[in-house]
Structure 1
Amino acid sequence: MGFHRRLAPSGFNRGAGAALCALSAAAAALGAAPASAAPQGHTRAEVDRLYQQAEEATEAYDKADERADALRREVNHSQDRIARRQQSINAMRETLGSLAGAQYRSGGIDPTVALLFSDDPEDYLDRASLLDRIDVRQAGQLRELQAAMRELAQERSEATGELAELERSRTAVAAHKATVEKKLATARRLLNALPAADRAAFEHASRGADRADLPDLFGVSAPDGRAAAAVAAARAALGKPYVWGASGPSGFDCSGLMQWSYAQAGIHLPRTSQEQRYAGRQVPLSQAQPGDLVVYRSDAGHVGMYVGNGQVIHAPYPGAPVRYDPVGMMPISSVTRP
């Protein structure tokens, strides 16, 4: 098919990312380039390299952002638990104070009971010689207070650790975001520096296949309802823009598209392509079925969804919308069936 011929991998940089397909298409559209065009060829290869690095940084950003979200939820839950436990402790202290006050007024308890209401009632309980000054009920309540204060101190310590980890995660998110933006800005500057004809050919290739070249998927069906729903969702996303760090519905990065598509089928996938690689049973490429996740490159830095007849749907890179491409567009790392 013409689609296959136009997007077949070139000799550039065998480990390159999805942008290589478009770059190969641009080179084919330009025809045989004279020696003087070598700088443009180098620029296209450099853009490809930058897009691949940006995609790797995007996956790292997605992972750090997901961790930051989880930590924010943990911190909020911890703060709620701490507030509830503090209210419980205040109520316990108030009850003990009322009992102690009544006993003191009736002469039934020594003034040293004030020790009970210090910040560390354990000091009192450790003094066995004073235990005969209180009744069994108060002793039980004091021990409950002691246990509650220990648990509160532990939860506060854990919350402090969670807050510190959240701050580190926020820092990592910001660093990955800056890396992505820098790579993409550099790639855009290089593209803008290309001659108009080269740039136009690249942009045309980035838009993917014309409608006449769409793959023939007649008669292809998914193995079960969940896979069929995920494939249908991925097809519904065709033409949506690549947006780094996005997981739909208006834009996607590669792993975000997979996560969103399977979410429409009621299945939760992890956020990054590295994690999605292990989110199911791995099968040989020769046994791939519609809905399977095809993970690319040794670093598992890119992922697409197999839809049959040697085609995947994926979000390639900035400037290229969600589209069909040949499954062998770049080195395949594994095939996973969620």
Structure 2
Amino acid sequence: MASHRRPKSPSRARISVLTAAAATAVAVSAQSAQAAPKPTTAQLQAQLQQLNTESDQAIQKFDAAQAKLKTQQAAVNTLQDQIARSQSTVNSRLDALGEVASQQYASGAVDSTVQLLLSSTPDEYLAQASSLGQITDNQASEIKSLQAEQGKLDAEKAQAEQTLQQIQATNQQLAANKAEVQKKIAQTQALLDSMTAAQKAALAKSTGSGAASRDTGSTSRPNLGSAKPGSSIEAAAFAAAQTRLGMPYVWGATGPTSFDCSGLVQWSYAQAGYSIGRSTYDQINYGTPVASVSDLQVGDLIFFNGNSHVGIYAGNGMVLHAPHTGTVVKYEQLSYIGSIYAMRHI
């Protein structure tokens, strides 16, 4: 006869676990059913501002390395020219001295060891020649002079080699900076692509600059008030910058048809006959400080966000600058760009 047993009741512990698991599943389902809250326009603006600042920082490092590389290449070119001239001089004087030594050897006036001089390197030639006892006073003087010339040549070669090594290191830094710039720009574009059309419109309206799209910006002349340039150089630089309105922002570019922020400043001041550094980190060292916004004059340089961005003061609280990737050279209000780091009067 079959045994009929009553099933065991689940333990309290098991009931508690099952209940907790069910509650968790319900909570997860409820959370999944609710869409993640959309970021506010202010939050989107803050994210874009942060990404643009980080991009500016990477770009200015790239610009500084690029300028350093240009300087190093010019230096090594100069050294190589000097080396070629020095080598030519040494070779000519060695040939002349060797000819005299050959003639003396043929006449039996010089020890046979002079024959070694005719087939050795310049260094060996001079070292051996200086030890010979049967050379004339004129030859001794010439050898001493040649040794000094050879020493100068060796120093130039060593300096050129050091500069070439510096160029290699700078090129590596340049590549790293370039990769960082591209990474930041990709992050910025990803954020823009994630926005809805309504969010982009709201963001553009809140900034007044079209920061969320590849727009033409404010390229028409706004009300700049009655402020005057601080100097003739600033007047000429500002006038030059105005001719670049609408030109595209391209990081690393210095004109004449595309610019990054410091590239626009460098180009504009060059048109005024004034040489200024390539990066914001250089440019902030030119001119004299401006104490307050109320003291700004047209043409003054304004540095933003920890000296990662620069623009030219246009008057009435407006700045003319090359903002960031996806925009063009245009006017914007000071408050739209970021926190002011420093102001300089050129």
Of all paired residues, the percent bearing the same amino acid is 37
Q: Which stretch of the first structure deviates more once superposed, 184-193 or 165-174? A: 184-193
- Aligned with residue 294 of structure 1, among 284, 299, 302: 302
Q: 1:284-304 deviations in whole A, cap 9, x for unaligned?
A: 12322111111123x311111
In 2, the alpha carbon distance for the partners of 1:79 and 1:215 equals 52
Contact preservation (8 Å) 2:251, 2:259: yes
| 8 Å contact kept, 2:59–2:252 | yes
Q: Distance in 2 between matches of 1:142 and 1:116?
A: 12
Q: What is the identity, as a one-letter code, of the residue corresponding to 2:244?
A: A
Deviation at 1:313, TM superposition (A): 0.8
Q: Which amino acid in structure 2 is aligned with residue 123 of structure 1?
A: A
**Residue matched to 1:315:** 322
Which residue is equivalent to 1:158?
A: 159
Which residue is equivalent to 2:255? 248
Deviation at 1:43, TM superposition (A): 5.0
Query: 2:233: which partner in 1?
Result: 226
Kindly report structure 1 stretches of 4+ aligned residues shifted beyond 4 Å.
39-44, 200-204
Deviation at 1:115, TM superposition (A): 5.2
Structure 1 position 124 matched with structure 2 position 128: yes
Corresponding residue number in structure 2 for 1:237: 244
Equivalent in the alignment of 1:324: 331
**Which residue of structure 2 aligns with residue 137 of structure 1?**
138
* Matched-pair contact (CA < 8 Å) for 2:240–2:268: yes
Is this contact kept in 2: 1:121–1:142, CA < 8 A? no
What is the CA–CA distance in structure 2 between the aligned matches of 1:201 and 1:39, rounded to whole Å? 9
- Once the two structures are TM-superposed, the CA of residue 153 in structure 1 deviates from its matched residue by 1.2
- Contact in 1 for aligned 2:227/2:297 (Cα 8 Å): no
Q: Contact between 2:276 and 2:286, CA under 8 Å: does it hold in 1?
A: yes
- Kept after mapping to 1: 8 A contact 2:230/2:300: no
- Aligned-partner SS, 1:304: strand
Alpha-carbon offset, residue 227 of structure 1: 1.4
CA contact (8 A) 2:302 2:342 kept: yes
CA distance in structure 1 between the aligned counterparts of 2:92 and 2:231, rounded to whole angstroms: 56
Which residue is equivalent to 1:199?
A: 200
Q: Which moved more, 1:81-90 or 1:326-335?
A: 326-335
Partner secondary structure for residue 74 of structure 2:
helix
CA distance in 1: counterparts of 2:168 and 2:287, whole angstroms:
32
If the length of structure 2 is used for normalisation, what is the TM-score? 0.80
**Greater RCO, 1 or 2 (C-alpha within 8 Å, sep 6+):** 1
RMSD of aligned alpha carbons: 2.3
**1:16 corresponds to which residue?**
none
SS at match of 2:210: helix
Return the letter of the residue paired with 1:83.
A
What is the aligned length? 299
- Per the TM alignment, residue 326 of structure 1 is displaced from its structure 2 partner at its CA by 2.2
Does structure 1 retain, via aligned residues, the 8 Å contact 2:219–2:245? no
- 1:79 maps to amino acid: Q
Choose 1 or 2 for highest CA Rg: 2
- Structure 2 CA distance for aligned equivalents of residues 209 and 184 of structure 1: 22
C-alpha distance in structure 1 between counterparts of 2:230 and 2:47, whole Å: 40
What secondary structure is seen at the aligned counterpart in 2 of 1:320?
A: coil
Output the CA distance in 2 between the equivalents of 1:210 and 1:280. 28
Checking the alignment, whether the CA contact within 8 Å between 1:283 and 1:337 is kept in structure 2 is yes
Partner of residue 215, structure 1: 222
Gaps of 5+ in 1: 1-33
Q: How do residues 7-156 of structure 1 correspond to structure 2 at under 5 angstroms?
A: 36-38=37-39, 42=43, 44-114=45-115, 116=117, 118=120, 119-124=123-128, 127=131, 130-131=132-133, 133-156=134-157
Q: Which 5+ residue runs of structure 2 have no aligned equivalent?
A: 1-34
Among 271, 285, 290, the residue aligned to 1:278: 285
CA deviations 1:156-177 (Å, max 9, x no partner) are 1111111110001011111111
1:239–1:322 Cα contact (<8 Å) kept: yes
CA–CA separation in structure 1 for the residues paired with 2:285 and 2:317: 22
User: 8 Å contact 1:192–1:199 — kept in the other structure?
Assistant: no
The answer to whether the 8 Å contact 2:126/2:146 transfers is: no
